[in-house]
């Protein structure tokens, strides 16, 4: 969001990237910052703000306001999704995609994609063009900074990305896990959620490409160490492994799945147990279709 706010302020002042960058940084670096693909040190950002004619205090206030708007948009999407408000989701998508067509701002595309992601889950209908999906995939693949925001962006659009796009981005996220853990533990937990959700999405799909992608990603996920205190993440990974075994046609898997669900119910984790049961039902349905 920091880069998006900076870009908005620069355009409002009718300043070019070269005018603002000056001899501080290259225009290509500034472009990547405005697109949310890299971060800048505070000292460099402070010097750029002088060229922009904005104080640090003003910029911080606008950035927090922008982050609040993004969170409110995601809350609107979540509310519409849980209410199964298909027309509401479509309206959120339409407003954002029209804004993107006018501005070409990546932020607007991510908002449209977030609404389209949950719309697809409810209706099975893909709203975004192939060129928009390619733009999203390229943007995430070019990302040099994995933080809570960029991890959330991937998680919010993974259902509408192709299997190939999902695998490519998931591999980048896996390779960055240790660095994310050192820099931002909240982002690290979100990264695990995104990876496990991606694996589950692939298990729900029915082509051989989907199954091969799920097999590759599951193997890499199981190679990663998990901190012992991330108990729910560990349980979720183990359950998704069982779903993978089910999808693979392994025998005697279902009794283990039912035992895991019963275990959660016995310990009062009814909501998680319900989620796991729904995941099982979905993958069970997909397992009845031979990968093509």
Q: Given a cut of 70, is residue 93 above it in pLDDT?
A: yes
Which of 4-8, 192-196, 250-254 is predicted least confidently? 4-8
Q: Given a cut of 70, is residue 69 above it in pLDDT?
A: no
Q: Would you state the pLDDT for residue 279?
A: 96
Q: Would you state the pLDDT for residue 225?
A: 92
d(CA 192, CA 233): 7
Coil, strand, or helix at residue 176?
Answer: coil
For residue 62, report the phi and psi dihedrals to the nearest 5 degrees.
-70, -35
Q: pTM score, two decimals?
A: 0.79
Q: What is the pLDDT of residues 96-129, one digit of tens each?
A: 999 999 888 788 899 999 999 999 999 999 999 9
């Amino acid at each position: 969001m920091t880069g998006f706010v900076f870009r908005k302020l620069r355009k409002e002042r009718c300043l070019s990237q070269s005018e603002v960058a000056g001899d501080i940084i290259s225009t290509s670096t500034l472009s990547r910052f405005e697109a949310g693909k890299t971060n800048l040190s505070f000292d460099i950002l402070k010097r750029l703000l002088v060229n922009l004619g904005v104080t640090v205090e003003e910029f911080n206030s606008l950035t927090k306001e922008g982050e609040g708007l993004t969170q409110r948009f995601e809350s609107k999407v979540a509310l519409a999704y849980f209410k199964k408000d298909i027309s509401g989701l479509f309206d959120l998508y339409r407003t954002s995609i029209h804004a993107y067509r006018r501005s070409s701002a990546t932020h607007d595309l991510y908002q449209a994609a977030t609404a389209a992601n949950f719309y697809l889950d409810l209706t099975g209908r893909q709203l975004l063009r192939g060129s928009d999906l390619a733009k999203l995939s390229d943007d995430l693949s070019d990302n040099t900074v994995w933080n809570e925001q960029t991890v959330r962006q991937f998680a919010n659009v993974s259902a509408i990305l192709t299997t190939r796009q999902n695998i490519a981005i998931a591999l980048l996220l896996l390779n960055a896990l240790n660095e994310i853990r050192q820099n931002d533990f909240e982002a690290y937990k979100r990264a695990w959620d995104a990876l496990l959700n991606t694996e589950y999405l692939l298990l729900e799909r029915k082509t051989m490409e989907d199954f091969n992608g799920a097999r590759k990603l599951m193997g890499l996920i199981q190679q990663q160490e998990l901190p012992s205190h991330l108990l729910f993440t560990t349980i979720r990974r183990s359950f998704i492994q069982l779903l993978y075994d089910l999808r693979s046609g392994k025998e005697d898997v279902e009794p283990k799945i039912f035992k895991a669900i019963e275990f959660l119910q016995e310990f009062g984790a009814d909501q998680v147990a319900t989620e796991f049961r729904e995941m099982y039902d979905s993958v069970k349905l997909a397992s009845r279709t031979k990968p093509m």
